Structure 1
């Protein structure tokens, strides 16, 4: 809406009646404002709610058509203290007690070999049932197709690799297929408290097969562990038997060597030799001591040349010579004693090793039949009562929330991509033009109320939305018109606007409705003239009560009619005059830009307090 005089003093904008949006002014802050987003949601609440309902229905359909998935779990305990064996079992117990042992067992449980063993425990009917329940349904096929198509754009297909059949697959044709199904649905998880417990789960569309296969996997693992222990015990037994025989032969050889040496050297055991040598030295020492004592006693009685003293001296020297000879003889036999000691040590060590292996062999023979397996099933899988997937409540909730989010996102994009002006503050932000007011939309309720008030009016005038102000002057619509009137009059304190031009960018924006109602509002303050300057599609003549066609502005400008002939006094409002457009000329722009049009406005300004021009 523009208001003009000879020199335009201000410019203003008002929203037309075809805008259904709220007329509340929003903050000028262009940053993140929750209030703005809340108003956006309120504005598009219906579309957002419809998309939320669509997401809810789609998720409900998917949750109702997808095949339910059941999961059954078997609990296995690995107690290393129960499986300790003797003999070579020290190493085996250490292997069981190692920290990585439980991770190894978890890997064994998740291996394909164990899946094949579990499949071998199923009967033919269960195997066929296992294959049938993995056939995908319509929804699964659709989802798989879409997912595969999307993934194909982002990655290259994997290279084909040949599969190596396991021993179980070679034993029974087609077993690999069943093993692959079990391998795909099997899950092995350790206990959360780092205990010696493993949980083996199997997922299937058949609740009974879920429990059956889970127990089959656990049984196959227990058997596999027993077979492994039995194989290890057999290998240990054979190795111990070989070691016992080897040590027995070695012991025999060392005993024969010791005996041969004793016979060849005429020796007994090293202890007997040492005892004999010690006894002989002791006897010779005693003899030397006795001769020494006798010599000393005789030397006290007799002189050096006495025959008895000389004989005692000779006996002492002989005893000493014999002792020295025996000592030299013992030193010469030291090498033989060392050799004898070495042979005796060999026999002793071989005897100890032989007895040790023999004892371990006997203990292993007993433990093979008496040892308890360290692996056992604590809780067998039971047939699940309810599926774990799909979680229908979560799917429906996510579908509804996703629909609402998608709807809000579309509303946000729509607002961002929309370059039209819907609210007064947008005009100020985009064009920098001050807003004088906004006219609310007249819906069915407002129109019905206007007709009712028109029937009660004194002039009994027919209802027209362009004359809504005169029908219902106390309505919010009329209050908005008065607000615009006040904004125009106070827009310039020095010179009050007198000539006001109403225009619009496109048709059907409520230009004529605003012009007529604004003129009716100004007529309450003074004489007001409404000029229909829309020379292409004039409309003012349709709402006037003129029953004769005396011409209009065009006829006045070209001199075919006088002022008194074309001015129409409105019967429904005091001080309100209307000047129709008249005949539609071929050149409207030249007429409106002519000097005669300016002179006409100058003449009218001298007569009327306010002039409202309804222009194209």
Structure 2
């Protein structure tokens, strides 16, 4: 018997924009909830957060320009390294310590939140060694009581006139402090206060082409926030001016000492130079030396040119001699290559010999077309060629010897010039050394005099290269929290979180939803049918409705017989057509219905398909082959026994077990129940008696539909599938997992059961249209039939 097979098809894994849109629609409530939670959290944070203010001061820093143009260029290429250096100084711990000391930043207000320290405390002084602690200040009559919050020890009283006596910290209260029921003060260690200040400070350069630096400070203290950057800038400028004055004073003393020493060295160098010129009567040795060096260079160049020509001609003659020993007597003369040497061509005799050689070779070539080399006339031409070659070689050899003689003559002349240069007096070197010494000392003396004047000026004037452009002022509005920005970021982050969770949820969802999912899970099995969800009267559809309500509700799902106009009935008729045309020459007669898991709808699909076949006038037999928990007999309100198991074991005859089901206007069909539920269903279904029974039934009926057990639970369907002409695997949308489908297909392939295809059952087009846009086309007819409320139209 020929059994249908299928090959794995290609599944397109490319994600389109429509797929992403459908994914977002499926998870719209999850995304909305994430957006709502994150945005609400951002709004709550913005409402309860303590406002933070920012104030900034701008400082102009002029870069020092070098006197040398090259150094100016290098300084420009360094992208303002001096400004960057000063910015690092502004970030330094030393300046931060000065600010903490001067503004007593070790002391801060914890409660009431958002109130400036200057509003509550007055005449505040904090020493660097003050220990860490938190103190509670509460009204107690005319004065306020101070309590250590860690030890609960009373530390005395404080008021507008009575200062607090804490370890390393003293302060008084202002009149405004009486408006608050309690005040909490924290004293930080000096190091922590400095570190906290450095974190709250930011130093930036808004424009790299401008020498402007901005110092920003953030704090919840509305009054202190502008004092910190101003104090930092003042401390920075003061320190820089002190350092520059100290450097200038040191430079002046150093330059004065160096100038005295250099003046003595310059006078001695000038005296030595004058004495040398008078003693040696030196006027200009350079002119004589330069003339001889120029002539030596010219002679060397001429000698090199002639030697190069000689080498080239020698190499050419060697090649011609080698070719002459192996050349073909009847071929062209190798001495023709002398034509490539331009100097020989300038010689008239050489040119005439080469022309004669060419003419004689041409005449011999014409004669050789009619005669051989042994011919006398040819021999005469050959002899003439040899004579001309000998003359050419003699001329070339003579010319080569002349070039060699010229090279030797030049070598002798060069040796003479070299000897003359060697005897040039060493006094020129001595003169250059003395002049160089005097020049260097003179330039250094002038330079030091210039630097001394500059240092004296710098010592006398204030440094104007660094100054405050805009001092920090009291801020009018806080920079944090930014309510609108926080809410906007909350919306964006909430949406990103929701989308991320949606993608994660989809990635973790292993159930099938669309025909593409089913094709991928089965490895390319044909999709034989797409069955919509059956609306049960008086029940809300759910994933477990069939299991919860038993066979009675399964009976309501047999819509093919009771409602032929139902879209579900049309889907089963489409399934019938697809099965018929799966093999047009011989449609499968024996078909096994199974599913990966229980409650996937295999029994419903088997029964409805049997009804549609009966409506077509086909002699159809529906067999309940689920020998473990078959329920089809209850669906048709028929007894379970005798049935299939009884016929196989021989306890009943086939005629006794077969029942006829009257379908009314739809016709009738035959039904074979499970019979007595046996302890060994797999063995019975795989027995020879079962095979014989199926062959016998195929002779009596046009179509046999077998409802079998789920594949992932037991192997009954796989065993039964080997005896059938095809197996239909039923999967339930949104319920059946891909892994279960793959396992079921593998089970069938292992026993070589013929797989007709797959049926996707229980499709809710309104729900599942968010998984595939193609469901929308099916949904039009489904909605037309049922209406928007899911109820059947009259």
Whether the TM-score (by the shorter chain) exceeds 0.5 is: yes
- Shift in Å at residue 478 of structure 1? 2.1
Q: Normalized against structure 1, the TM-score is what? A: 0.56
Asked if structure 1 preserves the Cα contact closer than 8 Å seen for 2:660 and 2:671, the reply is yes
CA distance in 2, matches of 1:484, 1:12: 17
Match of 1:203 in 2: 218
Q: How does 1:205-604 map onto structure 2 within 5 Å? A: 205-229=220-244, 231=246, 368=460, 373-384=464-475, 385-388=477-480, 392-393=486-487, 395-411=489-505, 413-414=507-508, 418=510, 423-429=514-520, 430-442=522-534, 464-526=555-617, 527-546=619-638, 551-557=642-648, 558-560=650-652, 563=655, 566-572=658-664, 573-604=666-697
Asked if structure 1 preserves the Cα contact closer than 8 Å seen for 2:559 and 2:566, the reply is no
CA distance in 1, matches of 2:641, 2:18: 56
Match of 1:128 in 2: 107
Asked if structure 2 preserves the Cα contact closer than 8 Å seen for 1:466 and 1:543, the reply is no
Which residue of 91, 116, 120 maps to 2:97? 116
Match of 1:265 in 2: none
Q: Which has the larger radius of gyration?
A: 1
Higher strand share: 2
CA distance in 1, matches of 2:224, 2:111: 11
SS in 2 for 1:10: coil
- Shift in Å at residue 184 of structure 1? 2.7
Residue by residue, what CA displacement relative to the aligned partner does 1:92-124 show, whole Å, maximum 9, x if unpaired? xx99xx8654344333322222222222321x4
CA distance in 2, matches of 1:564, 1:360: 132
Which residue of 183, 186, 189 maps to 2:198? 183
The answer to whether 1:76 aligns with 2:59 is yes
CA distance in 2, matches of 1:232, 1:465: 103
Residue by residue, what CA displacement relative to the aligned partner does 1:390-433 show, whole Å, maximum 9, x if unpaired? 75245414521441343144235425xx4x65544445444443
SS in 2 for 1:583: coil
Aligned residue pairs, count: 423
- RMSD, aligned CA: 4.9
Higher helix share: 1
Asked if structure 2 preserves the Cα contact closer than 8 Å seen for 1:130 and 1:209, the reply is no
- Shift in Å at residue 371 of structure 1? 5.2
User: Structure 1 524/183 Cα, relative in aligned 2: closer, same or farther at 3 Å?
Assistant: same
Match of 1:29 in 2: 12
Asked if structure 1 preserves the Cα contact closer than 8 Å seen for 2:50 and 2:220, the reply is yes
- Shift in Å at residue 67 of structure 1? 5.5
User: Structure 1 132/532 Cα, relative in aligned 2: closer, same or farther at 3 Å?
Assistant: same
CA distance in 2, matches of 1:593, 1:12: 24
Asked if structure 2 preserves the Cα contact closer than 8 Å seen for 1:567 and 1:578, the reply is yes
| Comparing 584-593 and 182-191, the one that deviates more | 584-593
Residue by residue, what CA displacement relative to the aligned partner does 1:156-178 show, whole Å, maximum 9, x if unpaired? xxxxxxxxxxxxxxxxx965553
* Unaligned segments of structure 1, at least 5 residues: 1-6, 14-25, 85-89, 136-172, 251-352, 450-460
Match of 2:274 in 1: none
Which residue of 598, 613, 616 maps to 2:706? 613
CA distance in 1, matches of 2:21, 2:538: 27
CA distance in 2, matches of 1:592, 1:189: 84
User: Structure 1 110/604 Cα, relative in aligned 2: closer, same or farther at 3 Å?
Assistant: closer
User: Structure 1 47/542 Cα, relative in aligned 2: closer, same or farther at 3 Å?
Assistant: farther
Match of 1:288 in 2: none
- Shift in Å at residue 207 of structure 1? 4.0
Q: Normalized against structure 2, the TM-score is what? A: 0.45
User: Structure 1 581/444 Cα, relative in aligned 2: closer, same or farther at 3 Å?
Assistant: closer
- Shift in Å at residue 203 of structure 1? 2.5
Asked if structure 1 preserves the Cα contact closer than 8 Å seen for 2:646 and 2:676, the reply is yes
CA distance in 1, matches of 2:112, 2:236: 24
Asked if structure 1 preserves the Cα contact closer than 8 Å seen for 2:49 and 2:481, the reply is no
Asked if structure 1 preserves the Cα contact closer than 8 Å seen for 2:646 and 2:675, the reply is yes
User: Structure 1 500/8 Cα, relative in aligned 2: closer, same or farther at 3 Å?
Assistant: farther
Residue by residue, what CA displacement relative to the aligned partner does 1:506-561 show, whole Å, maximum 9, x if unpaired? 32221111111111111111232212122111111111134x67733344452535
Asked if structure 2 preserves the Cα contact closer than 8 Å seen for 1:78 and 1:376, the reply is yes
CA distance in 1, matches of 2:240, 2:588: 103
| Comparing 428-437 and 522-531, the one that deviates more | 428-437
Asked if structure 2 preserves the Cα contact closer than 8 Å seen for 1:530 and 1:612, the reply is yes
SS in 1 for 2:94: helix
CA distance in 2, matches of 1:598, 1:372: 111
- Shift in Å at residue 128 of structure 1? 0.6
User: Structure 1 519/50 Cα, relative in aligned 2: closer, same or farther at 3 Å?
Assistant: farther
- Shift in Å at residue 490 of structure 1? 0.7
Q: How does 1:49-88 map onto structure 2 within 5 Å? A: 50=33, 56=39, 69-78=52-61
Asked if structure 1 preserves the Cα contact closer than 8 Å seen for 2:636 and 2:661, the reply is no
Residue by residue, what CA displacement relative to the aligned partner does 1:319-368 show, whole Å, maximum 9, x if unpaired? xxxxxxxxxxxxxxxxxxxxxxxxxxxxxxxxxx9xx99x979x969x94
User: Structure 1 115/577 Cα, relative in aligned 2: closer, same or farther at 3 Å?
Assistant: same
CA distance in 1, matches of 2:683, 2:537: 43
Residue by residue, what CA displacement relative to the aligned partner does 1:272-298 show, whole Å, maximum 9, x if unpaired? xxxxxxxxxxxxxxxxxxxxxxxxxxx
CA distance in 2, matches of 1:241, 1:132: 62
Asked if structure 2 preserves the Cα contact closer than 8 Å seen for 1:9 and 1:492, the reply is no
Asked if structure 2 preserves the Cα contact closer than 8 Å seen for 1:58 and 1:399, the reply is no
SS in 2 for 1:129: strand
Match of 1:105 in 2: 86
User: Structure 1 66/443 Cα, relative in aligned 2: closer, same or farther at 3 Å?
Assistant: farther
